[in-house]
Amino acid sequence: MKLSPLQIARYQYNPKLPGMLRNGISEICVKNGGATESVADQEKIKALFPNTYGKNEIIFQKGQNTSEAKKQVVGVILSGGQAPGGHNVVCGLYDALKATNPENVLIGFKGGPSGLLDNDFIVFEDDYINQYRNTGGFDIIGSGRTKLETQEQFAVVVDNCKKHGVNALVIIGGDDSNTNAAVLAEYCAAHNTGIQVIGCPKTIDGDLKNEDIECSFGFDTATKTYSEIIGNIERDANSAKKYWHFVKVMGRSASHVALECALETQPNICLIGEEVAAKKMSLAQVADQIADSVAARAAKGWNFGVAIIPEGIVEFVPEFSVLIAEINELLAGEKADKFNALPTWADKYAFIEAGLTKESMAVFAILPENIQQQLFLERDPHGNVQVSLIESEKLFSALVKDNLAARKAAGAYNGKFSALHHFLGYEGRCAFPSNFDADYCYSLGYNAFMLIQYGYTGYLSKVSNLSKPAEEWVAGGMPITKMMNIERRHGADKPVIRKALVELEGAPFKFFEANRAQWAVETCYTYPGAIQYFGPAEVCDLTTRTLALEKA
């Protein structure tokens, strides 16, 4: 296989570790922090996790290694959607394991959690690992979205681990995957299996974060990748001067990606779902906000602009959320078959009109027909509308077009409006990791093995002080239960890691809020360009604007 020059160069990159992890395995000791409790529902979470709840946070520091010297056989999986840097977590884990004892073994279970259930695996060796250092993707062992959540599944996992002599598992994933890791850790502890479980925080969406986890890995690379493309679109818009570009970016449950891309590129409009929800904005009000920018720029002779739309924006609009809930009920059970059997869209529309409340029908009626039909596409496994299939970038450009037509009819607008649409999603999930993500992920993997070596279970690999140079990063661990609360899922109370939403009082949003009025009217675009891997640290090792503002 012929390699690209960049791939060859990235193989040779040596990721930077936190200072205390550079001392050598024999000179790393543990410093205990305070006991922990969950972010909410403490009594309920404690009752569900009697063996792993309330443990101390820890950090690693220079000192005599007091861990038990023994051969370690560790299993690892990648779980959920891809994120840049996942390969380096595996490489860091492998290198720490082999540095401690060359006889240690790392087993990769293929295809995510299903590999653990099916006993589909590979035993890592140097030649195989070295093909994936500092590269994007999850193709080293693949990934999957199978959930580990039943007692029967846990018993199969334990049985398969024992076939290989596995004494620890590392689960690399997002909030759901690490919730599953916590539940599996509790099962293993309760049944005295001798198997430790360690998690690593992954998601490009940026919503796995809190006072301890400053950033999930992959967010840095993905947002830099999207920001490069948005900057290129801005440059094109400012050159052609005749199009409004509506750019949808990843982030169904939170708007971190959209906000970071806005901070990087300074578009005319960026919608923040959390603000829309807090202000209880309607679709019409959101469209009016965008149309105000279009009209103000048109008055200056600028019939062009850029708007960033988070993937999950419609779920933050209260009236739209009610509409979705009513549609889910309208098509529940056998009613879906009756609806699907109707021969024409006119027949289906009449069925919808008869089944929705007057208020929700008013919302439905203003939607473009193609968006209306998208709401009735294939259901998810639970029978609900797949909101991710809704082309929200096209929805809002259509609503803005209608808004502007009304303004023009009233003599309040005399510009031109021509929209182009983009969805930036998969382009960012498997990019070559930035130096930050390459370093951070390698550190997370290396650190995960130190947690294993010292006997911890139910812990998340934690590296903090990330806005500083890697030498000053702090490595340690925190109990996963610290991030958990109880939420209603599929009709039952479940312990889950709380998703982090954009904080409207936080420094990143406040900076955006202070500048967006100017960005909406003026052309203030910034062009981040491609991710830089070689050159001065101030160019190549930049953290995200979000992290820089939060830690300023």
Just list the catalytic residues.
205
Q: Are strands 269-270 and 105-109 parallel, antiparallel or unpaired?
A: unpaired
User: Which of these, 210, 224, 302, lies nearest to 263 by C-alpha position?
Assistant: 224
SS3 content of the chain, % helix, strand, coil (to 5): 45, 15, 40
Written as one letter, the residue type at 472 is E
488 burial via Cβ count (<10 Å: 0-12, 13-18, 19+):
exposed
Contacts of 101 (CB under 8 A, 6+ apart): 69, 71, 72
CA distances from 437 to 90, 218, 443, 447, 531 (A): 13, 6, 10, 15, 12
Contacts of 431 (CB under 8 A, 6+ apart): 84, 136, 221, 222, 225, 531
Cβ pair 260, 219 in contact under 8 A: yes
Q: What DSSP designation does 301 have?
A: T
Cβ pair 436, 541 in contact under 8 A: yes
Cβ pair 178, 470 in contact under 8 A: no
Written as one letter, the residue type at 127 is D
- The first and second tokens of residue 321, run together, are 């959320």
Contacts of 26 (CB under 8 A, 6+ apart): 64, 65
- The first and second tokens of residue 462, run together, are 């934690």
CA distances from 505 to 266, 267, 344, 509 (A): 20, 21, 48, 7
> Cα 228 vs. chain centroid, distance in angstroms?
19
Contacts of 61 (CB under 8 A, 6+ apart): 20, 28, 29, 30, 31
Contacts of 386 (CB under 8 A, 6+ apart): 377, 378, 379, 380
Element (H, E) at 309: strand 305-310
Which string of b and e fits 244-274 if b means at least 16 CB within 10 Å? Answer: bbbbbbbbbbbbbbbbbbbbbbbbbbbbbbb
Q: What DSSP designation does 217 have?
A: B
For residue 198, the number of C-alpha atoms closer than 13 Å in the C-beta half-sphere is: 29
